[in-house]
Amino acid sequence: MGQIGNINTQSLFIDAFLQNNRLDHVTQLMGYHPKYLDVFLKTQHFILRGDGPLPYDYRHYIAIMAVARHRCSYLINLQKQEFVLQGGNEKWLKGLQFIPQKLRDLYELNKILAHRPWLISKTHIERLTKGKESWSLSEVVHAIVLLAHFHALCSFVLGAGITAELDHENGHTLRPQSICHDCVSDSDDEEEDKPIKTNPPHTLTQEYESTVEVLLKKMRTLSEQARETSEQEMVKRFRKVESQTIELGISGATELSPPKADISCFIEDASFGYQDFAKRGQSHDIPTFRIQDYTWDYHAFSLVNRLYNDVGNLLDDKFKTAYALTYYTMGRNKDVDTSLFRSAVWNYIHCIYGIRHDDYDYSEVNQLLERCLKAYIKTVCVYPERTTRSDYDSIMRDFRHSEKIHVLLMINDAKMQAELLYALRAVMTYMTG
């Protein structure tokens, strides 16, 4: 999977500090993967501060609306500060009832995109672009990108257990990664890749060692097999994995207490949440999203670039970096082709959202992803606010900490891409009548 890279990490940290007047915990944790951090920072900077149709205060308030759906107080606090710095009306921070009608009109799209994006239709786009407080299509697309970005970032923040910043309530600093690892040799043999936040003991028992060996053997076997499978069988295998996601439930399945007042003021219809795509109704009136019918590369990319200049290029770089990132390691094993494992993670995330890749054999998901890892991925995707530290500790036990972070990066980007595919398909359907 991955290991700590120290190339350019320090300069990226400096750039992030100059942009944000702080080196936040998200940046520090993503610093394990500087290539990804580079494209992430460029993308986030562009959608919040670059050229675009939405005013700067709107951008940060939309971010607040997005992260409130997952009760991510860490990101709410950061975006509140940015909103004020951009000259935002502090009265709006009292809650949704104090904001302009135009922003309130966005809330339904925000709610559905966060939890059940397959329900988004051209009607939702049409409602925003009609009436007195109407949105332009370019504004709608900018808002969609912001919402999807921050919904996904909640999964990264809560999945990794990122804590409040030093200047926020209950905040504390992290052990800086740059101090510990900037001088590590390229081989990475001398320094254990340890968690940044609390550094629990990293023990490798024979049981865990054999687990990664079993995974490596499975990958070797799969890569050596020449299989011809009928389309009908491929669909059947997808359906099996899809139905199994229902059985998994949520790893932190206890009911959440009502959100605190400083979060609930940004939430409407708090009970609305994820519903397993396979449970979408006996009639299956909402069909599976076949990726070949509306792809990122050939459809969504060109549409988003046309309506919101240049953002498609940044998003494309970020998605490709998250998917293709590899250091050819897995735990303590080197020279490993990790592509099968990465494909299983990415395609399983899309499966959770009802997206099927026709050319992918979903039997590989069950062969390569342990049940506890699948449960963790599902929880972090759809109910990140329920993720616990024990969930994080229980997965991929003989992998490096940076490799777990890499899985979280894939969750971040595959989830964001899934939301964008559904929303941009609705935009295209609206535009073509």
| Cβ pair 106, 143 in contact under 8 A | yes
pLDDT at residue 173 in the model: 42
47 burial type by CB count under 10 A (0-12 exposed, 13-18 middle, 19+ buried): buried
Residue 3 has pLDDT above 60, yes or no: no
Instruction: For 405-419, write each residue's pLDDT tens digit.
Output: 999 999 999 999 999
pLDDT in tens, 58-68: 999 999 999 99
What pLDDT is stored for residue 284 in this prediction? 56
pLDDT at 276: 81
Q: Any residues with CB less than 8 A from the CB of 191 and at least 6 apart, and which?
A: 180, 181, 184
Rounded to whole angstroms, the Cα distance separating 21 from 17 reads 5
How many CB atoms lie under 10 A from the CB of residue 156?
24
Higher-confidence residue: 15 or 300?
300
The tens digit of pLDDT for each residue in 250-272 reads 655 456 677 788 899 999 988 89
Q: What is the pLDDT of residues 299-323, one digit of tens each?
A: 999 999 999 999 999 999 999 999 9
Q: Is the pLDDT of residue 195 over 70?
A: no
Burial of 32 (0-12, 13-18, 19+ CB in 10 A): buried
Average pLDDT of 133-149? 97
Using DSSP bridges, classify how beta strands 355-356 and 289-290 pair: parallel, antiparallel or unpaired.
parallel
Task: Kindly report, residue by residue over 214-235, the tens digit of the pLDDT.
Answer: 899 999 999 888 777 888 899 9
Check pLDDT > 60 for residue 398: yes
The torsion region of residue 352 among left (phi > 0), alpha (psi -120 to 50) and beta comes to alpha
pLDDT of 139 reads 98
Positions marked active-site: 72
For 146-162, the pLDDT digits (tens) are 999 999 999 999 999 88
Q: Does 295 have pLDDT greater than 90? A: yes
- Residue of 278 and 144 predicted with greater confidence: 144
Average pLDDT over residues 176-198: 34
Distance from chain centroid for Cα 124: 23
The band of 133, judged by pLDDT with boundaries at 50, 70 and 90, is confident
Q: Determine contact, residues 331/400, Cβ cutoff 8 Å.
A: yes
Residue 281's pLDDT band, with cuts at 50, 70 and 90, is low
Q: What is the pLDDT of residues 345-355, one digit of tens each?
A: 999 999 999 99
The proportion of the chain whose per-residue pLDDT surpasses 70, expressed as a percent, equals: 84
**C-alpha closest to that of 128 among 141, 115, 113:** 141
Mean pLDDT for the chain?
85
* Tokens of residue 388, six digits: 């616990």
In 3D, which of 22, 384, 12 has the Cα closest to residue 168? 22
Q: What is the pTM of this model?
A: 0.88
Confidence grade of residue 208 (pLDDT, cut at 50, 70, 90)? very low
Residue 171 pLDDT: 46
- Residue 206's pLDDT is 45
pLDDT over threshold 70, residue 376: yes
- Report DSSP letters for 67-116, one per residue: HHTTT-HHHHHHHHHHHHHTT--GGGGG-GGGS-HHHHTTHHHHHHHHH-
Of 15 and 362, the one with more pLDDT: 362
Contacts for 284 with CB less than 8 Å, ≥ 6 apart: none
Backbone angles phi, psi at 203, to 5 degrees: -105, 140
Residue in the block written with tokens 């395609």: 347
Q: Has residue 198 got a pLDDT over 60? A: no
Q: Is residue 433 within 8 Å of residue 368, measured between CB atoms?
A: no
